[in-house]
Amino acid sequence: MFTTAAKIGTAELRYGDKTLTLPVLEGTEGERAIDIRTLRDETGLTTLDYGFKNTASCQSSITYLDGEHGILRYRGYPVEELAAKSRFVEVAYLLVHGKLPDRGERDRFSALLTRHSMLHEDMTQFFKNYPEHAHPMAILSAMVVSLSTFYPELARERLHEEEELDVTTTRLLSKLRTIAAFSYKKSIGEPFVYPRHDLKYCANFLNMMFSSPVRPYEIKPEVERAMNVLLILHADHEQNCSTSTVRLVGSAKVNLYASVAAGICALWGPLHGGANQEVLEMLEGILKSGGDVKRVMERAKDKKDPFRLYGFGHRVYKTYDPRARVIKQTCKDVLAAVKTQDPLLAIALELEERVLQDDYFLERRLYPNVDFYSGIIYRAIGIPANMFTVMFAIGRLPGWIAQWKESQEDPEFKIQRPRQVYTGPREQHYVPISMRD
Ligand code: SDX
């Protein structure tokens, strides 16, 4: 059942001799929006809003963010509670179905994940033709859209029936994890390790990544726990760039797999999910230059320098990202569990401390975001930097599925086609090239 915001009043827009009265809507947590759906028809005006900083693209009941107070809730549950008490598979079910599963629902969902963990053997051949240095995000996106060629029913599937919803969801959740592990094995020239039916979601991923025919891999409970926490914290984040991409592509009635493949490409960007790889490379650069964090801070402030302080700032959070707080603590737990000291953690802690005392960053309310500490955990587990955004994609997948499904069920569903303000030449007429010399 689709939930819409309540109309609580009106706003007046005066333009020329016209006054337009527009409805004001209010969401569950008091967020208010002017409904401008009649604006162009009534006035000929459109609105211009670079980056959609002031624009709500939809009504959604999946995730709530309060950027001023650092609040993040999935279907009403605080993400801190889910990270501490739940597991990624249960949170994936919550996001997609809108409720926590009972024991039977959870066991069935988990059994479907196990059943759908393998790739079609012909798909494994695709990996052979990628160059060894191929970025795994390119492989991930190509493989996900290719899944619909091996499972053509997916291109037609509706997601309304429970049965189909769970099959489609678990097939994608499970196979994305396998594709990610296989792309890592490909990059290090080791044979693929196939999923095992006796391992849970995160343990299976760790085993596919790090075990080999000649080297058993011990799955440490603290590492498996940290993997669950990281995937839960990345699971959804309302209308971010990649989720908006999944919704936009899906608005043309494109199937879920092709829509998610587009979302993977958007997530790859260094301003978005690609930032976690950039953070690690930034911290490594500081280490190599003798640990001078002040230098990168000066570069970040220099308007002539395109460099940004990766892992800081956020379009919505104007305080500490609640996910970064949990990840920072998890970082310390994992380093203790794997018994390694990582000099990058000390550098990250010093950089955070200095930034949070620096007027440039404080005035702009730039705080650590989800990408700042996550890479240090992945690195401690043994995951290479070019796989960090792949980890983000594995975590974000249930959110993309839930948001895509909600957009398809929205009674106001329309193909997304924004307008523009044209600033090009007025009408002109063709002249033959002989007259153009
Ligand atoms: C994610 O949207 C989501 O929810 C995303 C995400 C999710 O879960 O899906 O949370 C995941 O993408 C997290 C963000 C990861 N990106 C980075 O860490 C890259 C570094 N951060 C910035 O590029 C930036 O903060 C953004 C892209 C995250 C947000 O950019 P905005 O909202 O468009 O802000 P802006 O560029 O308008 O910046 C406002 C001011 C500018 O300075 P002035 O023009 O006012 O002088 O702040 C400055 C910016 O130059 N600024 C930074 C900065 N971020 C903003 N200056 C230096 N370093 C930075 N990181």
Token pair recorded at residue 228: 């669950």
Phi-psi region of 253 (alpha: psi -120 to 50; beta: other; left: phi over 0): left
Note the pLDDT of residue 152.
78
The one-letter amino acid at 363: E
Protein residue with its CA nearest to atom 27 in ligand 1: 271
Mean of pLDDT over the chain: 95
Name which of 165-169, 182-186, 188-192, 353-357 the model is least confident about: 165-169
Q: What is the pLDDT of residues 233-250, one digit of tens each?
A: 999 999 999 999 999 999
Angle at CA of residue 135, ends 369 and 316, nearest 5°: 20
Asked, for residue 70, whether it belongs to a domain, the answer is no
Please give all residues whose beta carbon lies within 6 A of any atom in ligand 1, as ranges.
51, 237, 240, 271-273, 275, 300, 308-316, 364, 366, 369-371
Q: How far is the CA of 309 from the centre of ligand 1 (A)?
A: 9
- Verify that 223 and 280 share a domain, yes or no: no
CATH number at residue 15: 2.20.28.60
State the pLDDT confidence band at 148, using cuts at 50, 70 and 90: confident
- Verify that 177 and 208 share a domain, yes or no: yes
User: What does the buried/exposed string (b/e) look like for 206-238 if buried means 16 or more CB atoms within 10 Å of the residue's CB?
Assistant: bbbbbbeeeeeeebeeebbbbbbbbbbbbbbbb
Q: Give the chain's end-to-end CA distance (angstroms, integer).
A: 65
Q: How far is the CA of 313 from the centre of ligand 1 (A)?
A: 4
Q: How far is the CA of 379 from the centre of ligand 1 (A)?
A: 24
| pLDDT, mean of residues 262-281 | 97
Catalytic residue among 166, 321, 342, 371: 371
- Verify that 90 and 222 share a domain, yes or no: yes
Asked, for residue 423, whether it belongs to a domain, the answer is no
Among residues 79, 94, 81, the alpha carbon closest in space to that of 317 is found at 79
Note the pLDDT of residue 47.
97
Q: Structure pTM?
A: 0.96
CATH number at residue 315: 1.10.230.10
pLDDT above 80: residue 59 = yes
Please give the backbone phi and psi of residue 401, each rounded to the nearest 5 degrees, phi first. -65, -45
More confident residue, 352 or 155: 352
Asked, for residue 417, whether it belongs to a domain, the answer is no
Catalytic residue among 97, 314, 321, 342: 314
Note the pLDDT of residue 340.
83
Give CA–CA dist 404/400, Å, rounded.
6
Note the pLDDT of residue 158.
58
Among residues 69, 46, 62, the alpha carbon closest in space to that of 97 is found at 62
Note the pLDDT of residue 141.
98
pLDDT above 60: residue 289 = yes
- Verify that 32 and 172 share a domain, yes or no: no
Q: Hey, what's the torsion of the CAs at 418, 423, 429, 433, to 10 degrees?
A: -100
CATH number at residue 216: 1.10.580.10
- Looking at ligand 1, which atom is closest to the CA of residue 364? 47
- Verify that 214 and 279 share a domain, yes or no: no
| pLDDT, mean of residues 13-40 | 96
Q: What is the pLDDT of residues 342-388, one digit of tens each?
A: 999 999 999 999 999 999 999 999 999 999 999 999 999 999 999 99
To the query of whether residue 66 is one of the catalytic residues in this protein, the response is no
State the pLDDT confidence band at 159, using cuts at 50, 70 and 90: low
Ligand 1 pocket test, candidate residues 280, 314, 316, 317, most atoms within 8 A of CB: 314
Specify the number of domains making up the chain.
3
Kind plus residue range of the DSSP H or E element containing 165? helix 162-187
- Verify that 245 and 337 share a domain, yes or no: no
- Verify that 339 and 239 share a domain, yes or no: no
Among residues 63, 52, 400, 54, the alpha carbon closest in space to that of 250 is found at 400
Asked, for residue 303, whether it belongs to a domain, the answer is yes
Q: How far is the CA of 320 from the centre of ligand 1 (A)?
A: 13
Asked, for residue 225, whether it belongs to a domain, the answer is yes
Asked, for residue 253, whether it belongs to a domain, the answer is yes
Note the pLDDT of residue 60.
98
Token pair recorded at residue 134: 């191929």
pLDDT above 70: residue 157 = no
Q: 115: domain range?
A: 77-271+393-409
- Verify that 283 and 260 share a domain, yes or no: no
Note the pLDDT of residue 1.
74
- CB 46: neighbour CB atoms within 10 A? 13
For the chain, percent of residues with pLDDT exceeding 70? 98
Give CA–CA dist 82/323, Å, rounded.
11
- Verify that 227 and 368 share a domain, yes or no: no
To the query of whether residue 236 is one of the catalytic residues in this protein, the response is no
- Verify that 36 and 170 share a domain, yes or no: no
Asked, for residue 296, whether it belongs to a domain, the answer is yes
Enumerate residues 6+ apart whose C-beta is below 8 A from 368.
311, 312, 320, 321, 324, 328, 352, 355
Q: What is the pLDDT of residues 381-407, one digit of tens each?
A: 999 999 999 999 999 999 999 999 999
- Verify that 297 and 314 share a domain, yes or no: yes
Protein residue with its CA nearest to atom 55 in ligand 1: 313
- Verify that 397 and 367 share a domain, yes or no: no
Q: How far is the CA of 310 from the centre of ligand 1 (A)?
A: 8
Alpha carbon 216 to its chain's center: 32
Asked, for residue 69, whether it belongs to a domain, the answer is no
State the pLDDT confidence band at 160, using cuts at 50, 70 and 90: low
Note the pLDDT of residue 164.
79
Among residues 336, 217, 346, the alpha carbon closest in space to that of 283 is found at 346
State the pLDDT confidence band at 156, using cuts at 50, 70 and 90: low
Note the pLDDT of residue 162.
67
Note the pLDDT of residue 2.
84
pLDDT above 60: residue 190 = yes
